Amino acid sequence: MPIKPSDSEEEYFARQEAERRRKIAEERQANIQEEERERERSLHFMKCPKCGMQLEEITFGDIRVDKCFSCEGIWLDKGELEGLQSKEPGFVGRLFKAFRA
Ligand SMILES: [Zn+2]
């Protein structure tokens, strides 16, 4: 006589299977998100956040800023504002003057 799995066994295996499928779905979702992030990153790398045009990296002393020659925006990376703050008085003014059209 075949052994019929008990209800609790069926429930256990169904739960196991559901958990396995959930993990697969989560991994798939994470991969899609990572691909999406990578696509966004490469699409927007060194593009002006304001107007979307190409940014140019300009060095002034030991400070490097990303400058947009389309909308004239100037963008700073992490830590660069702090770097500017530690400069001698007048540095920022000279920096802006150098980039003015
Ligand atoms: Zn711009």
Same domain flag for 26 and 63: no
Domain housing 73: 55-99
pLDDT tens digits, residue range 13-56? 999 999 999 999 999 999 999 999 999 999 999 999 999 999 99
- pLDDT over threshold 70, residue 3: no
Same domain flag for 38 and 59: no
| pLDDT value, residue 63 | 87
DSSP 52: -
| pLDDT value, residue 92 | 87
Measured CA to CA, the distance from residue 84 to residue 82 in angstroms comes to 5
Same domain flag for 40 and 63: no
Q: Is residue 26 one of the residues assigned to a domain?
A: yes
Same domain flag for 2 and 41: yes
Distance 35 CA to ligand 1 centre (A): 26
Same domain flag for 65 and 39: no
| pLDDT value, residue 100 | 79
Give the pLDDT band of residue 1 (cuts 50, 70, 90): low
Q: Is residue 70 one of the residues assigned to a domain?
A: yes
Measured CA to CA, the distance from residue 9 to residue 17 in angstroms comes to 12
Of 23 and 99, the one with more pLDDT: 23
Q: Is residue 59 one of the residues assigned to a domain?
A: yes
Helix (H) or strand (E) holding 60: strand 55-60
Mean pLDDT of the chain: 91
Distance 74 CA to ligand 1 centre (A): 8
Distance 36 CA to ligand 1 centre (A): 24
Tally of structural domains, the chain: 2
Same domain flag for 67 and 90: yes
- pLDDT over threshold 80, residue 5: no
Distance 82 CA to ligand 1 centre (A): 23
